[in-house]
A = this chain, B = another copy of it.
């Protein structure tokens, strides 16, 4: 029974890593599509979101089956419940990548990035991609050092998020309300993406150390 359970856990872990890698690919493409007004790439992200939703749905089912059949307790139970939550966070990250791609597609052939904000959004996108990559690494290696790396990246992201609002409100974007709306939404999507990576990191920390802080 114990061996069966360990095998189930490995299966859960493998699936979480697989989903995290797809999320990384999605945010990478979405950032590129948003920065270069590449509508074909935007559509790839939008179409790919279904696949991620399928995978998280299947992971949910697997975790519920494990709860029902193997009735884990203590830290095993914590991991299975944690997997449910991590799956939900990864699914939200995929949704947010999709929202960014939708902004790019919606404005095409115009750029969704207002003048003067391109650099900031390139950096926000790069941070999100790195956070997704670190999330996959954390799930794969269970190395607690990666948790702090993810938190640090999120701090950088929050600073950029604040900077977008500063820029939007101070620069000559006034004649461009569409640009203000797009920048506001895109920045919020990037920031939330980071928050969900931190949620996954917290779940892993909870699992690895038995405490949440």
Contacts and interface: CB of A to CB of B under 8 A. Distances in A.
Chain A interface category by residue count: 20 to 34
Contact of A184 (B68, B81, B176, B185): B185
A169 B175 contact: no
Contacts of A88: 85, 88
Contacts of A73: 68
A177 B185 CA distance: 14
Contacts of A173: 177
Contact of A174 (B165, B169, B175, B185): B175
A7 interface: no
A119 interface: no
A165 B188 contact: no
A132 to B, nearest CB: 21
Question: A67, A73, A175 — which one has the most chain B CB atoms within 10 A of its CB?
Answer: A67
Contacts of A169: 177-178, 181
Nearest to A212: B57
Contacts of A176: 174
B77 A68 contact: yes
Interface of A: 64, 67-68, 71, 73-74, 77-78, 81, 84-85, 88, 165, 168-169, 173-178, 180-181, 184-185, 188
7 contacts: A68-B77, A168-B181, A169-B177, A174-B175, A174-B176, A181-B184, A185-B188
